[in-house]
């Protein structure tokens, strides 16, 4: 669809969260796991205390957060409330990850298979907990399949036959993507050929595979929150280079892989580093060739990789021509407090006001529609009803000048491929920059 300046944005949040209050998962769990579920519920207080000790949980903040947002937070599991909150934020559609409650973990999926899903999860309990969440989530998104893409939890380190079966079951139930653990821990790393049937099934069903920040080797951090936050985004990014260098993207060209809520600031350096390695950096002289790849890493990235970049930072937007505009999928992180809800409209204005409208349309929705298979024709009437316009975002009607201000950055792009020495990260300096050429 050709769009004009006046058209409202079709906004898709590539990173939202939903989950039942934990107790309510019981009917979705096979009855033979009910005893283990009681044990899991009994351990909640100890887990909460550990989170408080690390500083991830803060009593005072939690109290204020829940009293300020009591009604809206029910949107974590109540569909009618959720739609109100999405409409209020101008969000036409969303990708739904687990764990609605990031403050107090009251909606943790059974056996800790939510955002903390980890490779060393007990395989039987892990698959049982994942299926329980997946069953509930399929019911939840069925309220309005055009607006919600449900992300199935996939304990991918379990028996590959069971994992593949769950992919097909999830697809048939109406879910649209697959979340795998960021960390394999003591199981086979993701370069292992044992996962090939899993990647093949994901490609075949058209379900993108995603990691999401959450898991990390917390036992190494003591009670130092800063350590946790400094590297918690590295662990979900890590599978990217394991898949890439072991040829998974070459062998499975239909596979799409994404990293969620881990920023995208790390991607330009990684691409620069990996492309140069592949294309024969000086340091590569003593190294063997990379036989499992047929093209530079950035080509696989553009073809098959994306980032659910959540509340994208201005610094990251400055790097979008290195990352690839189409690889950046914005997200609101509803209903998490580190996200943009319920102030998304203001947040979009302060973040995107000087970014070209055409690129903004891609990052705020159209790229996500392609990756996750949303039907934009079905979403169009919703977007026209609730979506902010470029003018609402403070974007000038004279887009020629905006485009021109970014021309040097756009033309330089990935400078290591375009022949430039240096990145060009911001718009052209105005006449007041006071710099001799």
Number of residues lying near a second copy (CB under 8 A): 77
Q: Is 292 in the site for a second copy (CB under 8 A)?
A: yes
Looking only at residues 194 through 223 of this chain, which bind a second copy when binding is defined by CB under 8 A?
A: 220-222
Whichever of 110 and 268 has its CB closer to a second copy, that residue is 268
Tokens of 278: 């592949």
227 burial via Cβ count (<10 Å: 0-12, 13-18, 19+): middle
Whichever of 7 and 403 has its CB closer to a second copy, that residue is 403
Start-to-end CA distance of the chain, whole Å, equals 42
| Residue from 23, 7, 128 nearest 380 by CA | 7
- The CB-of-341 to a second copy minimum distance in angstroms stands at 12
Provide the mask over 15-34, with x wherever binding to a second copy is found by CB under 8 A and - wherever it is not. Answer: --------------------
Q: Is 58 in the site for a second copy (CB under 8 A)?
A: yes
* Local structure of 17: helix, strand or coil: strand
296 sits in the region (left: phi over 0; alpha: psi -120 to 50; else beta) called beta
Instruction: Select the residue interacting with a second copy from 318, 323, 366, 367 (CB under 8 A).
Output: 318
- Give the rounded distance of the alpha carbon of 375 from its chain centre: 19
Produce one character per residue of 198-215: b if its CB has 16 or more CB atoms within 10 Å, e if not: bbbbbbebebbbbbbbbb
Looking only at residues 64 through 123 of this chain, which bind a second copy when binding is defined by CB under 8 A?
A: 65, 102-103
Q: Is 342 in the site for a second copy (CB under 8 A)?
A: no
Cis? peptide before 67, omega within 30° of 0: no
Q: Is 62 in the site for a second copy (CB under 8 A)?
A: yes
Whichever of 221 and 413 has its CB closer to a second copy, that residue is 221
Taking the C-alpha atoms of residue 392 and residue 291, their distance in angstroms, rounded to an integer, is 50
Q: Is 224 in the site for a second copy (CB under 8 A)?
A: yes
Whichever of 286 and 377 has its CB closer to a second copy, that residue is 286
Residue holding tokens 């887009």?
Answer: 399
Q: Is 314 in the site for a second copy (CB under 8 A)?
A: yes
Instruction: Select the residue interacting with a second copy from 290, 299, 349, 358 (CB under 8 A).
Output: 290
Q: Is 41 in the site for a second copy (CB under 8 A)?
A: no
- The CB-of-239 to a second copy minimum distance in angstroms stands at 10
- The CB-of-119 to a second copy minimum distance in angstroms stands at 11
Site stretch for a second copy (CB under 8 A), options 80-88, 121-129, 137-145, 399-407: 399-407
Instruction: Select the residue interacting with a second copy from 46, 80, 286, 377 (CB under 8 A).
Output: 286
Whichever of 128 and 198 has its CB closer to a second copy, that residue is 198
- The CB-of-325 to a second copy minimum distance in angstroms stands at 16
Taking the C-alpha atoms of residue 175 and residue 206, their distance in angstroms, rounded to an integer, is 11
DSSP 215: B
Residue 116 to residues 92, 102, 154, 313, 315, Cα–Cα distance (Å)? 28, 11, 12, 24, 28
Q: Is 50 in the site for a second copy (CB under 8 A)?
A: no
Say if strands 328-330 and 209-212 run parallel, antiparallel, or are unpaired. unpaired
Looking only at residues 410 through 429 of this chain, which bind a second copy when binding is defined by CB under 8 A?
A: 415-416, 421-429
Looking only at residues 226 through 285 of this chain, which bind a second copy when binding is defined by CB under 8 A?
A: 226-227, 229-231, 234, 238, 241-242, 244-246, 263, 265-266, 269-270, 272-274, 277-278, 282-283, 285
Taking the C-alpha atoms of residue 334 and residue 290, their distance in angstroms, rounded to an integer, is 41
Looking only at residues 118 through 177 of this chain, which bind a second copy when binding is defined by CB under 8 A?
A: none
Cis? peptide before 342, omega within 30° of 0: yes
Q: Is 309 in the site for a second copy (CB under 8 A)?
A: no
Q: Is 299 in the site for a second copy (CB under 8 A)?
A: no
Whichever of 163 and 274 has its CB closer to a second copy, that residue is 274
Quote the crossing angle between the two packed helices 34-42 and 44-54, to the nearest 10°. Answer: 40
- The CB-of-383 to a second copy minimum distance in angstroms stands at 26
367 sits in the region (left: phi over 0; alpha: psi -120 to 50; else beta) called alpha
- The CB-of-379 to a second copy minimum distance in angstroms stands at 28
């Amino acid at each position: 669809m050709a769009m004009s300046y006046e058209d409202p944005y079709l906004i898709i949040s590539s990173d939202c969260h939903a989950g039942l209050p934990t107790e309510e998962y019981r009917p979705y769990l096979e009855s033979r796991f009910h005893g283990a579920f009681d044990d899991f519920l009994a351990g909640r207080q100890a887990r909460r205390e550990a989170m408080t000790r690390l500083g991830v949980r803060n009593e005072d903040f939690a109290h204020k957060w829940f009293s300020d947002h009591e009604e809206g937070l029910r949107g974590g599991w109540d569909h009618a409330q959720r739609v109100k909150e999405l409409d209020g934020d101008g969000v036409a559609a969303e990708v739904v990850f687990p764990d609605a409650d990031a403050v107090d973990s009251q909606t943790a999926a059974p056996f800790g298979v939510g955002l903390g899903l980890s490779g060393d999860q007990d395989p039987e309990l892990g698959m049982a907990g994942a299926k329980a969440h997946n069953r509930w989530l399929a019911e939840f998104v069925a309220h309005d399949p055009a607006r919600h893409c449900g992300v199935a939890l996939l304990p991918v380190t379990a028996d590959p036959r069971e994992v593949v079966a769950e992919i097909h079951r999830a697809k048939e139930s109406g879910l649209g993507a697959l979340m795998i653990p960021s960390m394999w821990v003591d199981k086979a790393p993701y370069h292992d050929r044992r996962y090939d049937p899993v990647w093949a099934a994901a490609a075949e069903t058209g379900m993108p595979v995603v990691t999401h920040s959450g898991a990390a080797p917390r036992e190494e951090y003591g009670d130092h929150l800063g350590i946790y936050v400094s590297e918690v985004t590295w662990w979900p990014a890590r599978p990217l280079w394991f898949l890439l260098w072991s040829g998974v993207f070459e062998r499975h060209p239909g596979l799409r892989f994404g990293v969620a809520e881990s920023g995208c600031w790390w991607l330009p350096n990684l691409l620069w580093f990996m492309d140069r390695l592949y294309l024969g950096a000086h340091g590569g002289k003593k190294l063997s060739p990379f036989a499992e790849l047929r093209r530079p890493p950035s080509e696989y990235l553009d073809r098959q990789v994306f980032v659910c970049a959540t509340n994208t930072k201005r610094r990251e937007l400055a790097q979008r021509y290195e990352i690839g505009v189409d690889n950046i999928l914005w997200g609101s992180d509803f209903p998490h407090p580190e996200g943009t809800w319920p102030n998304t409209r203001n947040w979009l204005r302060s973040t995107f006001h000087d970014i070209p409208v055409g690129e903004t349309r891609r990052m705020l929705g159209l790229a996500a529609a392609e990756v996750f298979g949303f039907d934009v024709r079905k979403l169009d009437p919703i977007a026209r009803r609730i979506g902010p316009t470029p003018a609402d975002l403070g974007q000038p009607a004279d887009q020629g000048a905006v485009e021109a201000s970014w021309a040097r950055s756009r033309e330089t792009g990935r400078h290591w491929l375009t022949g430039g020495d240096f990145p060009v990260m911001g718009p052209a300096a105005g006449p007041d920059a006071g710099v001799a050429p």
